[in-house]
Structure 1
Amino acid sequence: MESRPHVLVFPFPAQGHMIPLLDLTHTLASHGLSLTVLTTPQNQSLLNPLLHTASAEGLRIQPLIIPFPPTQGIPPGCENTGQLPALHLIPLFMYSFKELAQPIEDWFHQQKKSSDGFGPPVCIISDFFLGWTQNTAAKLGIRRIVFHPSGAFAVSIIYSLWKYMPHEQVSSDNDAVYIPDLPHPVSFPKSQISPLLRRYKVLDTIFEFIRYNMDLNVESWGTLINTFYDLEAVYIDNLHRVVSGRPVWSVGPLLPPAVLDAEGTNMIERGKPTSIKESVCLQWLESQKEKSVIYICFGSHAFFSNKQNQEMAAGLEASEESFIWVIRDPPSSMPADEYGVLPQGFEERTKGRGLVIRGWAPQLLILSHPSVGGFLTHCGWNSTLESITSGVPLITWPMTADQYYNAVLVIEYLKVGIRFCEGAATVPNRDDLRIAVKRLMGREGEEMKRAEELMRAGKRAVQEGGSSSKNMED
């Protein structure tokens, strides 16, 4: 069997982290590499679409399933951030993965004797939440490349915050935190700094470990980032300087080929199974006029109270625009009668121009459809990049972590979105929503034109000779 370079890929098990790194795995395999994807038993099913596609296309991708290390404080069976009963457990969850270092080393040495044709890997590509894999790679005598699922602007901010901790010098949540080491002045209210950073305590074992992980990321042999040069050139160049001149490769937008190929018809399934048949969703979209639909979705960790839903529903109804609204059912830890309930009669009154999806939606299918003209989003980077690559402008409602940074990038620097709301617990104003939707869908600003320009730039980046395509070849 032909010998190919073998790479171990290690995603962090969170929806927004896994999806782009699995997309990258498919792309690397298409370039002739052999890849092993490491995950735990509860996450194994998330690899199935990729493995099925690889098998059909004759690509060399195999899974490596290692048991999740038992951790006091993490309920049994919780091996993905979406399974955690509370978000405050994420630091402990991150910390627990260091126990996989020895099993990885054992597997590496077994691969030297393996007859599966893969052999030991020459490189580890791992998520930036898994910085400790830098030490594992060094111990095994191979290279480690850090993968960032966020954009270059947000990553520059994250590195700066962990290095300098400027928020510790600010007492009030409303006061500005100025971010060092960026190519231009940037600040955010302290309340918008990631909870992971704000909870940091000196000499706390878990948080010191997380900060150490961030330091190790800077020491990695190189950095892969899900963005493209024409979108974030100044911040990609800045990252190259921040990480001491080590290579920084922009390899995005990382999306299934059908999204970027006008001839494509079949999308690779990504993430969790959808709650609506794609055929039903497509039929509804086909019944709408071009660029007439506002798509509303807030990611995998946002659950709206009934008060929030009431204002959202009233604003959408008053806008008289067509919409698709994705609503997550609350987890068992939330009172079922206080979350996820829509006003009585809302769906009936908006029938025909409104589609409510409870659970998971085929987001790429929706965003890439010609009838969609806007996206009301939490500004997670995957959603942001998917929207831009589809030529769809955004209405922003960031809620936590890097979402605030992405919203600023979208509004102030890329000029492809408008500000609506901020904060996960904020009850929006129905009139503000009506105005924002009418403005975006009425094409009163430059957002639609900019979105279409950036869509074309994103497609050029991944085509032969484009910036991301060249980086992938390198």
Structure 2
Amino acid sequence: MNCLKPDMLIYDFFQPWAPKLALSQGIPSVYFATSGATPFSFFHHLFANGTSSTFPYQAIYLLDYEKEIRARILANIKDADKNFAFGNFKMSSDIVLVKSCRGVEGKYIDYLSILCKKQIVPTGPLVNDYEEEEIHSDIMEWLSGKDEYSTVYISFGSEYFLSETQIEQIAKGLELCSANFVWVIRFPLGEKRNNIEDILTFGFLQRVKERGIIVQKWAPQKMILSHPSIGGFVSHCGWSSITESLYFGVPVIALPMKLDQPINARLAAEAGFGVEVERGDNGHFVGEEIAKAIDKVFIDKYSGESLRFKARELSGKMKKTGQQEAEEVADQLSRLCVKYKQQKLTSNIFLPQAIKTNSVIEFEV
């Protein structure tokens, strides 16, 4: 490791020790936020102004039960700072990279820049268009037998696992709604409850066999979302899922569970490409409300077409500006490298007798 002489370090949320080490060696470091700008601007606002302060954009908020389910990340991370987000924004050199695009989060990017006093540079969606189709030909063949915009895709990502009660309610909603469906259900590694038939309502699979399939392994999400038969995505609203759904022009039916997901769900609703499932005061969801939200996308002609139109419109903007944003990222990083190299050169010219000891520059008198 001692022989490495990088020009720059790019680090993520859980590595606040890294920029401190890099800067001690005169190496610029840039924080790359893989979540969107909206939740960061929301939580940064609360951090700076107090939890009783009103966020300037009223479409973004947390419900009472969501304030309780915000996961607490213990500050056992090496060199974590007490500043917002462990100090990652503060320690980033001049700029912060965010996985986002201005066409979707423009005002939240600008507000976050004001809050953290750094230029926020969106990277674009960073989504690949497709994967290897032949590996998943059974799913794709099934989808190809369905009409355009007739099928809803349901997945809660790779890090959230549904309880049996939640599975039962989603199954109830799918049986009550009118859409075809592809439902991905995963269990934690080593989990014994791997027989889905033992969890679902008796006879469910038989009753829906003509219009639905359940996938109990990894599913090709991007391939599924890009298929013309997909008309909606029931999602936990993780940022990658939101980005991919929007990239392929698919409306979101939001069932957020934790962390930044409620904020992402409200962003989708505000931007016009998402509808959120109504819940009770305790945060529990029921099958009837899931069916109602799905039918709002698939059966309600006005609402469904409006959501699809907005999703396609934002998808077009995202793809059109993606290359431009990627080039801007490259340009900003290049400028930063040049700036620090010039500073090093200047230091060597004007401070010839400087001696570096334990990463601190001292001077001979």
TM-score by length of 2: 0.79
SS at match of 2:249: coil
Counterpart in the other structure of 1:428 = 285
Corresponding position: 1:211 with 2:71: no
Q: Distance in 2 between matches of 1:334 and 1:342?
A: 15
SS at match of 1:320: coil
Counterpart in the other structure of 1:192 = 66
Q: Distance in 1 between matches of 2:191 and 2:229?
A: 37
- Write out aligned runs for 1:349-360 (5 A): 349-360=207-218
Counterpart in the other structure of 1:110 = 3
Q: Distance in 1 between matches of 2:257 and 2:81?
A: 22
**AA matched with 1:211:** K
Instruction: Quote the offset at 1:351 in angstroms.
Output: 1.7
Distance 1:469 1:184, change over 3 A: farther
Corresponding position: 1:122 with 2:15: no
SS at match of 1:342: coil
Instruction: Quote the offset at 1:197 in angstroms.
Output: 6.7
Q: Distance in 2 between matches of 1:278 and 1:327?
A: 16
- The answer as to whether partners of 2:80 and 2:87 remain within 8 angstroms in 1 is no
- The answer as to whether partners of 1:303 and 1:339 remain within 8 angstroms in 2 is no
TM-score by length of 1: 0.62
- What is the aligned-residue RMSD (CA, Å)? 3.0
Unpaired runs of at least 5, structure 1 = 1-106, 112-119, 168-176, 260-265, 270-275
Choose which of 10, 19, 22 in structure 2 pairs with 1:137.
22
Corresponding position: 1:153 with 2:49: no
Q: Percent identity?
A: 30
Counterpart in the other structure of 1:15 = none
Counterpart in the other structure of 1:253 = 125
SS at match of 2:200: coil
Corresponding position: 1:382 with 2:267: no
- Write out aligned runs for 1:15-54 (5 A): none
Counterpart in the other structure of 2:361 = none
Q: Distance in 2 between matches of 1:189 and 1:334?
A: 34
Q: Distance in 1 between matches of 2:234 and 2:158?
A: 15
Structure number with greater Rg is 2
**AA matched with 1:110:** C
Distance 1:327 1:254, change over 3 A: same
Q: Distance in 1 between matches of 2:266 and 2:231?
A: 21
Counterpart in the other structure of 1:419 = 276
- The answer as to whether partners of 2:279 and 2:286 remain within 8 angstroms in 1 is no
Q: Distance in 1 between matches of 2:20 and 2:246?
A: 36
Q: Distance in 1 between matches of 2:114 and 2:38?
A: 13
Instruction: Quote the offset at 1:303 in angstroms.
Output: 2.1
Distance 1:316 1:196, change over 3 A: closer
SS at match of 1:300: coil
Q: Distance in 2 between matches of 1:207 and 1:157?
A: 25
SS at match of 2:257: coil
Instruction: Quote the offset at 1:210 in angstroms.
Output: 5.8
Counterpart in the other structure of 1:292 = 150
- The answer as to whether partners of 2:100 and 2:122 remain within 8 angstroms in 1 is yes
Instruction: Quote the offset at 1:349 in angstroms.
Output: 2.0
Q: Which moved more, 1:186-195 or 1:331-340?
A: 331-340
Per-residue CA deviations over 1:153-180 (Å, capped at 9, x if unaligned) read: 111123334445x34xxxxxxxxx5455
Aligned length: 326
**AA matched with 1:255:** V
